[in-house]
Chain A
């Protein structure tokens, strides 16, 4: 008997009273949606910029390698997306479009179609996500309603920059992934 059969037949041999799957209520959030989102991102150690603030900030950083896949900043790439993600090793900045974001925790949803390469938002030194301010939802429940049955091979919620507190619980930003997250609300 294969292990698959062994495990499944062991489970079938255990009688457990049936328990029905509960319906999950559509829990909401009180307060201003945009303000809630901004506070969440700040709490996760990200920043929120307006379009103007972003345009002023960008030249001050003197990035040599930038990849923008954002529909709002089409001409900002200084290099083309490589085929092999290893070639992104010294990427300074990635600019990506987020699909929607959740106010209660700042989580922004991106899928393969936004990422170019799945490694992009992680390997880049700094990350900017551009988000339509009309695409904010209140809680994760509405978030998953929006995702619905989407069939992207990969999708993720990004809520902040890479961080760790593994040394004496001291928060350090920039563990392995992007050292900063800036969200541009448009």
Chain B
């Protein structure tokens, strides 16, 4: 399904769509307010962007440094060229440990690799432990937002879901009560898991350590109770120096949710005695994206979600409308690199207003890349739908006489024609749009009367 078709589905529940829009705008507003309290905010964004520029220009040597230091620290390193190989690594480790049930904290990468269905097919129980992710997992849905996975759901729906799955009181919609029920349910899973999987926010080349940030503490609950910690890391997550973390941790949570820092920021350098840490370094299209001059900067992304919260299209169409693991503006420049045909409508799901680029903590030129992808896609797949009307318009604009005649024709026609014709299904522009009232005179007529 295309983005417009999916968005139409989302917009059927107008009250919920309005709530979605307003709630994400509230998060965006929190981001604005907290960023204004940091006088050097713009300098931090510039620094973060420059550090990531340096990372992209030296990615190979940083990855080798990271690997060497991590190995020295007693961490086991695996490399995966694609999603399939990543999933195979995980499965092999689980088989070695004779492990049938795992806990997993938020990792967009494992969503990208479709790890859960892969492991479930092999008879392994995967429990997502972030509350929002557990909610969508119960519904067999992917997250609809990378930071707020269940933002498309209302508490009534979650209450009903928990009543079925966790036997909470029917009709009790109190978020505290529902969270407490999830806490009890997940605590049992934490205590029972021998292997825990996390994502990685940052990997530090000079130390071989990696950092995982959460507010719930679910990543740490999982890994410190398990014998084996598997950390799944995209190769672009590298930072050169430990002190670079200061810049990125100052930006990340403020951009994501408007809080000064996540409540838990764990730095893993080596395993506890008797335990194991594995890191899987995953490419899965990242080197291909790095080779695309116009789009390589998309790899600077630190997954804060700020571009989603601010995007007028995302807020009004929901994360699922994008049909890609990372939705929203950043997803719309990452996903076409993975599968241009499947994601061909995504770069068009934007007004090109540029707000995404304005809030991006690493200053990715998101809206410019959206525009560039449009050029690539139009070259490859031809134009969509609007071809005929655009050709007609082109003919009219080329001839002054045709322009004059068509202008006066349209003014009278729009008044006389019934709505059923103007908002005909063939006219895609008429969907969800109202035409303005037509003026009685042309600009030329007005100018002659008033200025000449």
Contact = CB atoms under 8 A, between A and B. Distances in A.
Interface of A: 2-4, 6-8, 10-14, 16-22, 24-25, 27, 40, 43-44, 85-86, 89, 104-107, 117-119, 122-123, 139-141, 143-145, 147, 149, 151-170, 172, 174-178
A107 B265 contact: yes
Nearest to A88: B225
B260 A44 contact: yes
Question: Could you say which of A14, A104, A141, A175 has the most chain B C-beta atoms within 10 Å of its C-beta?
Answer: A175
B235 interface: yes
A107 B218 contact: no
Nearest to B176: A172
A24 B283 contact: no
Interface residues of B, number: 87
B330 to A, nearest CB: 20
Given A22-B54, A167-B158, 10 more contacts: A8-B64, A16-B57, A17-B57, A18-B57, A25-B40, A27-B40, A40-B260, A106-B260, A140-B245, A156-B264
Given A14-B287, A174-B180, A176-B186, A24 B247 contact: yes
Given A20-B54, A123-B225, A155-B267, A147 B290 contact: no
B43 A25 contact: yes
Chain A binding surface, main DSSP class: loop
A139 B271 CA distance: 29
A157 B43 CA distance: 24
Contact of B263 (A4, A118, A143, A161): A161
A3 B85 contact: yes
Nearest to B223: A118
Nearest to B290: A14
B287 A122 contact: no
Nearest to A30: B39
A175 B218 contact: yes
Contact of A24 (B81, B243, B267): B243
A154 B265 contact: no
Contact of A175 (B131, B158, B296): B131
Contacts of A8: 60, 63-64
Contacts of B264: 122, 156-159, 162, 177
Majority-rule SS of B interface residues: helix
Interface stretch (B111-119, B146-154, B393-401): B146-154
A162 B215 CA distance: 6
Contacts of A4: 79
A16 B296 contact: yes
B265 A11 contact: no
Most interface-central of B131, B155, B281 (chain A CB within 10 A):
B131
A123 B247 contact: no
B199 to A, nearest CB: 16
B281 A7 contact: yes
Nearest to B131: A166
A148 to B, nearest CB: 8
Contacts of A12: 60
Contact of B221 (A105, A106, A107, A177): A177
